[in-house]
Amino acid sequence: MMASPAPHDPPSAAPAPGTIHPGWLRVMHWLNALAVIIMVMSGWRIYNASPLFDFAFPKGATLGGWLGGALQWHFAGMWLLFLNGLLYLALNLGTGRLSRKFFPVSPRGVATDLNAALHGKLSHNDLRHYNQVQKLAYLFVIVDIVVLVLSGLVLWKSVQFDLLRELMGGYESARRVHFFAMALLVAFVAVHLVMVALVPRSLIAMIRGK
């Protein structure tokens, strides 16, 4: 699903011939998946200790066993997500992959590709290229993870990040921002898994690179 490098790209930006996803991207993808699983499952356990709404997540779907253990898992996942995400953005910007893969994107293009997808007419023959719906989805999840990290900082160190806390409307508002950003991330993962099931070659490409 990676666009072929433009002629002016530096050699370091170009994957090996026949490669869909370079090795560094595949490693970061799976590390990111691990970090998200750890953070979501431990986060559900933390949520259960002080629910925002009138429901709780099933204990079997949580990680940590108790609040202290869940917090330790959550912090471990947080650092993995933060450092891996920071390196991911740096490499995507440094190699020019971000602009090649995710732009241009437009409302008309998204609407056209979404309509084609809903009618089963959207082609997935060339996994090197993202369609407009994929571009929008991946850009969205990048922004969503940034919101998760920023709201998480408020929940973790509310006094130290007092300006960020106030920008989010206070501590309780930041809790809600964090919860809904988590819910949107889980929804993205669910849709992503459905698409992988529909196009299993995409999973093979993310494991083998081609």
Tens-digit pLDDT profile for residues 7-27: 333 334 444 456 888 899 999
- Residue ranges making up the domain that contains 166: 105-118+127-209
- What does the mean pLDDT of the chain come to? 87
Measured between alpha carbons, how far is 42 from 54 in angstroms, rounded to an integer? 19
Instruction: Please state, in angstroms and rounded to a whole number, the distance separating the CA atoms of residues 202 and 208.
Output: 10
Nearest Cα to 205, choosing from 5, 30, 76, 48? 30
136 vs 105: CA distance, rounded Å: 7
Distance in angstroms (rounded) separating the CA atoms of residues 118 and 31: 31
Question: How many domains are contained in the chain?
Answer: 2
Asked whether residue 4 carries a pLDDT value surpassing 60, the answer given is no
In this structure, is residue 169 part of a structural domain? yes
Contact 131, 150 (CB under 8 A): no
Q: Name the pLDDT band for 137 (thresholds 50, 70, 90).
A: very high
One domain, residues 109 and 201: yes
Tell me, yes or no, whether 205 and 109 share the same domain: yes
Query: Binning pLDDT at 50, 70 and 90, where does residue 126 land?
Result: confident
Q: Measure the N-to-C terminal CA separation of the chain; round to a whole number of Å.
A: 10
Q: Under a CB-based contact definition with an 8 Å cutoff, are residues 26 and 207 in contact?
A: yes
Q: Are residue 139 and residue 166 in the same domain, yes or no?
A: yes
pLDDT in tens, 20-68: 888 999 999 999 999 999 999 999 999 999 999 999 999 999 999 999 9
Same domain, yes or no: 131 and 82: no
Same domain, 84 and 144: no
* pLDDT computed for residue 14 by the predictor: 47
Same domain, 180 and 110: yes
Sign for the pseudo-dihedral over CA of 194, 198, 200, 205: negative
Segment 124-143 shows an average pLDDT of: 88
7 falls within a domain = no
Residues 99 and 112 in one domain: no
* 138 lies in the same domain as 205: yes
pLDDT recorded at residue 17: 52
Whether 114 and 85 share a structural domain: no
DSSP 8-state assignment for residue 161:
T
Q: What one-character-per-residue DSSP string does 82-133 give?
A: HHHHHHHHHHHHHHTHHHHHH-S--HHHHHHHHHHHHTT----S-TTS--HH
DSSP per-residue letters across 25-92: HHHHHHHHHHHHHHHHHHHHHHHHHS-SSS----GGG-SSSSHHHHHHHHHHHHHHHHHHHHHHHHHH
pTM for the complete prediction? 0.84
One domain, residues 86 and 112: no
* Domain presence at residue 175: yes
Look at residues 55, 138, 40 and name the one whose alpha carbon lies nearest to residue 98. 138
- State whether 43 and 81 are in the same domain: yes
